[in-house]
């Protein structure tokens, strides 16, 4: 029996989010006209493929009787769980390329169910890929045959969605790993507390997925990485279950939690976590600052990051992105700046931050606003930000190669990294697509350096889009590493970043991770090929 769907609305099997939220055909026609005006191209719209049984391989295994009630082998669910949601995933799904679909999707409803699934898979030599929201953009939730398993299951954890306990004294909660962002915040709301972790993928990603990928929320500074918000974890592995001690801090050797932060489903299944909560902010203010020169905006961001002011939002968006998504028409880069607090007014902090910006040539066209709907560059950028994944899917249907990549480096290295990466992307776009552009913004700021996020747009050739993107991605990844950046700041490693990750992480550390995997997952069934090679 198939599990009851969480709601009547259906998730798209090939693209982002809800099927009913995709751009309408009229909106897509407008987008095509825009591409034509801007680039002189005549985009040809790829139809949404109709899902048919024959597009998927016949399942090679059947879950044993006790697991059948929690297994689903329907075409829609197997197709939906075939890939994550990167450009190359959506492009492959749209092309009807579902040959690598999981043999079954299994939905455990308890920690005991997870242990039973792992026990069966270990015995039957079936690979297991943990699946939270499936929003991976690095090939983290598919299986490409590593380790030679004949069959694989996608272990969908979204039925593990309870808030088990809230400790209001310590401001922490015990929460199951498959809970999605909105459900988590909804269940915390009566306590007046919040997890305050909002990746752009918040609506369709899970606590376990965030921990397994070390995700970054949309706050620019301070507590924004999920790493800092985890107090302890419960993990089920083929070798048994473990629970780390729940404490605010500990100097007892290497941190057990840290072993599982960023473990990407390769070391165990995160079934529960104690997470740190915060009071809901009530004081909020936001402003947009224009910088005629990108370099001045960068210098202002460094001053802000090193000032101790800790803005909640501090996103420097370059001029191309600012005109396209925020309607900034004066050719300036836009800094979206925001402060919030649950405890005290934030106007003084904003005032000081704007002073720092002006010292670096920033212009503030409009007084800071204290929240609500905004009809200015900040408001326009914010609404396009949340609609962006649906827009991206429409662009892919129109044949556009549209993807992002991100990194972090020191302030000392940044100018050179920005120049090298932008240049590598522009050259690759020219060679591969003939036409295209690259933009950059800051997503997170640290006193010692920024996390920069690049978006790439180019016209693809039907049928070659994935190979074309892979060529561009290889070029920019080489540039990132050679300029001293990390191959990922918050998107994780998955399968797509492995070659560069292997060069970035000391070999002895990778051998240590492989040794830990051999203990926790002796059969090597967990997400084979991710982080380390199968034995
Ligand atoms: C439109 C879009 C916007 C995004 N924005 C952001 C952003 O702002 N910040 C950010 O950090 N990332 C972002 N991402 C990337 C992605 O959302 C994150 O990596 C997210 O943390 C993945 O969570 P998930 O629940 O969807 O995990 P999945 O995609 O399902 O899985 C990711 C990895 O974790 C493993 N995994 C999942 N659940 C568990 C578990 N319970 N136990 C063990 N392993 C598990 C999987 O096997 C896989 O390797 C974005 C992606 C998209 C498509």
pLDDT tens profile 365-423: 999 988 666 668 888 888 788 789 999 999 999 999 999 999 999 999 999 999 999 99
Query: Ligand 1, from 130, 216, 494: best to mutate by most atoms within 8 Å of Cβ?
Result: 130
Check pocket membership of 429 for ligand 1, CB cut-off 6 A: no
Is the distance from the beta carbon of residue 177 to the nearest atom of ligand 1 less than 6 Å? Answer: yes
pLDDT of residue 6: 54
* Pocket of ligand 1 contains residue 106 by CB under 6 Å: no
Select from 91, 153, 215, 234 the residue to mutate for testing ligand 1; criterion: most ligand atoms less than 8 Å from CB.
215
> Does residue 189 contact residue 197 with C-beta atoms inside 8 Å?
no
The full set of domains in the chain, from first to last, is: 19-23+51-156 (3.30.43.10), 163-279 (3.30.465.10)
How confident is the prediction for the chain on average, in pLDDT? 95
Does 106 score more than 60 pLDDT?
Answer: yes
pLDDT (average), residues 32-52: 88
Own/partner pairs for 46-49, CB < 8 Å, 24+ apart? Answer: 46/94, 46/396, 46/397, 46/398, 46/399, 46/462, 47/397, 48/14, 48/94, 48/397, 49/14, 49/93, 49/94, 49/95, 49/96
Q: What is the pLDDT of residues 47-85, one digit of tens each?
A: 888 999 999 999 999 999 999 999 999 999 999 999 999
Ligand 1 pocket check: which of 136, 404, 455, 490 to mutate, most ligand atoms within 8 Å of Cβ? 136
Among protein residues, the one with the nearest Cα to ligand 1's atom 11 is 215
| CA pair distance 483, 268, nearest whole angstrom | 34
Q: How far apart are CA 180 and CA 197, in angstroms?
A: 11
User: What 3-state class would DSSP assign to 382?
Assistant: helix
Instruction: Tell me the C-alpha distance between 346 and 416, whole Å.
Output: 35
Per-residue confidence band for 44, with pLDDT thresholds at 50, 70 and 90: confident
User: What's the 141 CA to ligand 1 centre distance in angstroms?
Assistant: 9
> Percentage of the chain surpassing pLDDT 70?
98
User: Cβ–Cβ contacts within 10 Å for residue 290, how many?
Assistant: 21
What pTM value is reported for the model? 0.97
265 lines ligand 1 (CB under 6 A): yes
- In the three-class reduction of DSSP (H, G, I as helix; E, B as strand; rest coil), residue 156 is classed as strand
User: For 126-143, what is the HEC assignment?
Assistant: CEEEEECCCCCCCCCCCC
CB of 418 shorter than 6 A to ligand 1: no
Is residue 449 over pLDDT 50?
yes
* Amino acid 1: pLDDT: 39
Give the atom of ligand 1 at the shortest distance from the alpha carbon of 270: 42
Among 386, 529, 403, 393, CA closest to 458: 403
Please tell me the distance from the alpha carbon of residue 173 to that of residue 163, in angstroms, as a whole number: 7
């Amino acid at each position: 029996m198939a599990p009851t769907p969480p709601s009547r609305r259906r998730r798209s099997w090939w693209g982002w989010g809800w099927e009913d939220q995709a751009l309408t055909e009229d909106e897509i026609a407008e987008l095509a006209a825009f591409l034509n005006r801007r680039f002189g191209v005549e985009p040809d719209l790829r139809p949404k493929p109709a899902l048919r049984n024959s597009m998927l391989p016949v399942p090679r295994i059947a879950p044993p009787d006790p697991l059948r009630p929690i297994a689903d082998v329907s075409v829609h669910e197997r197709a939906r769980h075939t890939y994550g949601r990167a450009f190359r995933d959506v492009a492959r799904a749209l092309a009807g390329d579902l040959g690598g679909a999981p043999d079954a999707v299994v939905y455990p409803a308890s920690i005991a169910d997870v242990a039973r699934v792992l026990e069966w898979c270990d015995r039957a030599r079936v690979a297991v890929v943990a699946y939270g929201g499936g929003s991976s953009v690095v090939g983290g939730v598919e299986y490409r045959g590593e380790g030679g398993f004949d069959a694989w299951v996608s272990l969908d954890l979204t039925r593990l969605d309870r808030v088990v306990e809230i400790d209001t004294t310590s401001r922490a909660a015990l929460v199951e790993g498959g809970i999605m962002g909105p459900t988590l915040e909804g269940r915390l709301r009566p306590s007046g507390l919040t997890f305050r972790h909002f990746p752009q993928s918040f609506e369709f990603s899970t606590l376990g997925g965030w921990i397994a990928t070390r995700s970054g929320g949309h706050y620019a500074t301070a507590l924004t990485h999920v790493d800092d918000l985890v107090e302890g974890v419960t993990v089920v592995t083929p070798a048994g279950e473990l629970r780390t001690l729940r404490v605010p801090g500990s100097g007892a050797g290497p941190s057990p939690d840290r072993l599982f932060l960023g473990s990407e489903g390769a070391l165990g299944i995160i079934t529960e976590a104690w997470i740190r909560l915060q009071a809901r902010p009530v004081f909020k203010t936001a402003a947009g600052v224009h910088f005629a020169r990108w370099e001045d905006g960068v210098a202002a961001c460094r001053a802000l990051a090193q000032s101790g002011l800790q803005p909640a939002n501090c996103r420097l968006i370059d001029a191309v992105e600012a005109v396209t998504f925020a309607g900034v028409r004066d050719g300036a880069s836009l800094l979206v700046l925001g402060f919030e607090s649950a405890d005290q007014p934030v106007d003084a902090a904003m005032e000081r931050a704007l002073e720092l910006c002006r010292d670096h040539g920033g212009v503030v066209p409009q007084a800071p606003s204290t929240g609500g709907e905004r009809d200015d560059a900040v408001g326009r950028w914010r609404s396009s930000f949340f609609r962006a994944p649906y827009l991206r899917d429409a662009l892919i249907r129109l044949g556009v190669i549209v993807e992002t990549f991100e990194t972090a480096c020191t302030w000392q290295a940044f100018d050179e990294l920005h120049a090298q990466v932008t240049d590598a992307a522009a050259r690759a776009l020219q060679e591969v697509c003939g036409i295209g552009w690259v933009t950059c913004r800051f997503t997170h700021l640290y006193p010692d350096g920024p996390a920069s996020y690049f978006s790439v747009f180019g016209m693809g050739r039907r049928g070659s889009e994935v190979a074309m993107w892979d060529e561009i991605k290889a070029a920019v990844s080489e540039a990132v590493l050679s300029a001293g950046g990390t191959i990922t700041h918050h998107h994780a490693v998955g399968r797509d970043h492995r070659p560069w990750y292997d060069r970035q992480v000391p070999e002895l550390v990778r051998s240590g991770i492989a040794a830990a995997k051999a203990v926790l997952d002796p059969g090597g069934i967990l997400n084979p090929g991710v982080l380390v090679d199968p034995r």
